[in-house]
């Protein structure tokens, strides 16, 4: 739908250079991010055996680039940093991908297809309520981004969602809980993954299921 497209001006990205020199081409950037992400994945002790590490590195690396680009106002200039963009901790695209992969692993481990007759009344813990309330804000954030054409609202929302998931993952265990409570928590985590994946795709990011 080209007639529905609208150009949005973009600020200067300062400090972006690759190992091949000062002049930056898209091919250089894509090769660089894939290479750096592969190195980071190889060095991580927690990295599991991945079927296609190169493809995963590319998807995670692109997420890192996109989130760093879209965190602020599009018109604002910003200082690019490879190290900051590819950090596994902090407000980065790598963190979003890690959160999605973690939630996907949780679903695989406990069998999401078995969910039925979930009792939402089991979700009374403060961390569960905080996560639920944040999920309810998704439509509002999408509307705001559509009005001012600024993806930073979606980025901020997804980063906060991932932080809330990280806390809830520790305080709301599925394993060892009663069947009713376990189902409710698993349903909550599934909802978080679905919204996370939806927001990432809107930003042009392909969610990964392994890291």
Higher pLDDT, 145 or 40: 145
pLDDT of residue 40: 82
Q: Is the pLDDT of residue 46 over 60?
A: no
Rounded to whole angstroms, what are the CA distances from 75 to 14, 40, 110? Answer: 13, 31, 44
Integer angstrom CA distances of residue 204 from 23, 73, 184: 25, 17, 31
pTM of full prediction above 0.85: yes
Q: What is the pLDDT of residue 115?
A: 66
Residue 148 corresponds to which tokens in the numbers above?
Answer: 């001012």
Give the residue extent of every domain in the chain. 2-203
Q: 170: how many CB neighbours lie within 10 A of its CB?
A: 9
CATH class of 2-203: mainly alpha
| Chain segment 2-27, per-residue pLDDT in tens | 777 888 888 777 766 555 555 566 77
Q: What is the mean pLDDT of residues 168-184?
A: 93
pLDDT at residue 153 greater than cutoff 80: yes
pLDDT category, 59, cuts 50, 70, 90? very high
pLDDT confidence band for 78 (50 / 70 / 90): confident
Note the Cα 198 to chain centre separation in Å.
Answer: 10
Say whether pLDDT at 70 is over 90.
yes
Exposed/middle/buried for residue 100 (C-beta within 10 Å: 0-12, 13-18, 19+): buried
The per-residue pLDDT for 188 is 96
Q: What is the pLDDT of residue 37?
A: 86
pLDDT above 70 coverage of the chain, percent:
90
Contact (Cβ atoms closer than 8 angstroms) between residue 128 and residue 168: yes
State residue 16's pLDDT score: 64
The helix (H) or strand (E) run that includes residue 108 is helix 93-110
Token digits of residue 83: 């190290």
CA distance 46 to 120: 33
Quote the CA–CA distance of 152 and 161 in Å, as a whole number. 14
Identify which of 96, 206, 109 has the alpha carbon closest to the alpha carbon of residue 157.
Answer: 96
The confidence score (pLDDT) of residue 87 equals 79
| 79 phi, psi to nearest 5 deg | -90, 115
For tokens 């290479």, the residue is 35
> If you ran DSSP here, which 8-state letter would residue 203 be given?
T
Q: Helical H runs in the chain?
A: 26-43, 53-70, 82-85, 93-110, 126-135, 138-148, 152-171, 179-202
Beta-bridge partner residues of 192: none
Mean pLDDT of the residues in the chain: 87
Q: Is the dihedral of CA 113, 164, 169, 38 positive or negative?
A: positive
- Please give the average per-residue pLDDT across 180-201, as a whole number: 96
Report angle CA 138, 92, 169 to the nearest 5 degrees.
65
pLDDT tens profile 98-151: 999 999 999 999 877 666 778 989 999 999 999 999 999 999 999 999 999 999
The pLDDT score that the predictor gives to residue 118 is 86
């Amino acid at each position: 739908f080209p007639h529905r497209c609208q150009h949005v001006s973009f600020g200067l990205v300062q400090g972006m250079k690759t190992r091949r020199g000062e002049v930056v081409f898209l091919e250089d950037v894509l090769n660089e991010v894939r290479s750096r992400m592969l190195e980071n994945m190889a060095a991580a002790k927690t990295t599991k055996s991945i079927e296609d590490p190169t493809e995963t590195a590319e998807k995670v690396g692109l997420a890192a680039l996109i989130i760093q680009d879209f965190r602020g106002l599009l018109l604002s200039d910003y200082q690019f940093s490879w190290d900051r963009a590819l950090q596994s901790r902090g407000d980065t695209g790598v963190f979003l991908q890690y959160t999605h992969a973690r939630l996907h692993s949780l679903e695989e481990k406990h069998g999401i297809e078995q969910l039925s007759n979930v009792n939402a009344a089991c979700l009374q813990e403060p961390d569960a309520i905080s996560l639920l309330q944040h999920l309810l804000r998704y439509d509002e954030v999408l509307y705001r981004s559509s009005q001012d054409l600024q993806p930073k609202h979606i980025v901020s929302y997804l980063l906060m969602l991932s932080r809330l998931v990280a806390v809830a993952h520790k305080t709301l265990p599925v394993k060892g809980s009663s069947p009713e409570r376990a189902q409710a928590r698993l349903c909550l985590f599934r909802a978080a993954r679905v919204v996370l994946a939806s927001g990432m795709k809107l930003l042009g990011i392909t969610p990964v299921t392994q890291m």
